Structure formats: C-alpha cells, structure tokens
Amino acid sequence: SGQKVCYGDFKHSCYKLAYFQDLSRRVGFQEARQACEIDGGALLSLGSEAEQQLIENMLQNLTKSGSGISDGDFWIGLWRSGDGLATSSACPDLYQWADGSISPFRNWYTDEPSCGSEACVVMYHQPTANPGLGGPYLYQWNDDRCNMKH
C-alpha cells in the first residue's frame, strides 16, 4: 500500500510513497524493488535537484497530514553491484540506478557513501535524530546494507 501522487510536468509523472510505521512491514532493498516492479513502476531514480525538491515536499506533506509519521528512511533506486572496488576512491562512481537511467545527480549526506558492505541507498528521514556533521538526517542519501528494513 502507499500514497500515489501524480504530476504532469515531470519525467516520471506519478510517484508512490510507501511508509510503514509498523516495523514488521518494512522491507529490504530487493523486496522494495520487486514490489515497485509488480506495481508497474520502479524504485525512485532522481534526475535533478528539482526532482529531489519535489520528493522532499511530498514527504513534508505526508508528515503534515497527521499520519503520525516518524523516523524511517526510504529506499531509492540507487545501488552498487559487486564488491570489486568497494573500498577504493572509485566506489562512489560505481553506484547506478536500478531502472537503468543514467542521471549523474547525487545528494549524499556528508561522508557518504561509506561503501564496504553497504551497497543500497536510502533517502534519510529521521526527524527526531540529533543533527550530525551534515545537518539533520532529512532527505540526503546514505548507503546502507541491502538487507536492512526500510
């Protein structure tokens, strides 16, 4: 389940936000990817700062809607396959969009991606967390282990 929002002026005309307060309903990266594909879509690929801002606004509206939304990061469709150069300085260049799009746009949090065993990417949504070096953990990207539940 999720909230579907459509826009006529963006490359991807509709977005579906799925947020589960119930931790047992949250899923890993591959499960989220499959759920999107079954629904006829794909995990979110962000092509520009404008699209990033649109998604941030949608998440802010979701928060204001009184749904009781709390901390919980969102999977996006960016990931790194294989571990070949995962610890080298080339690591950030190994991330690719799951839907095959080639957007170079990135919105990493300070000191991310950390690479290593973290190969799948979330958009931070931790409004109750104390800010870190890069400010509040809201809307920037972080690589995480693919089996984490978001």
Q: What domains does the chain contain, in order, with CATH numbers?
A: 1-142 (3.10.100.10)
Query: What's residue 19's pLDDT?
Result: 78
Query: What's residue 133's pLDDT?
Result: 92
- Chain centroid to CA 136: 16
Ranges under pLDDT 50 in the chain: none
The answer, as to whether pTM is greater than 0.75, is yes
Answer yes or no: are the C-beta atoms of 33 and 43 closer than 8 Å. yes
Answer yes or no: are the C-beta atoms of 98 and 43 closer than 8 Å. yes
Answer yes or no: are the C-beta atoms of 146 and 119 closer than 8 Å. yes
Query: What's residue 138's pLDDT?
Result: 94
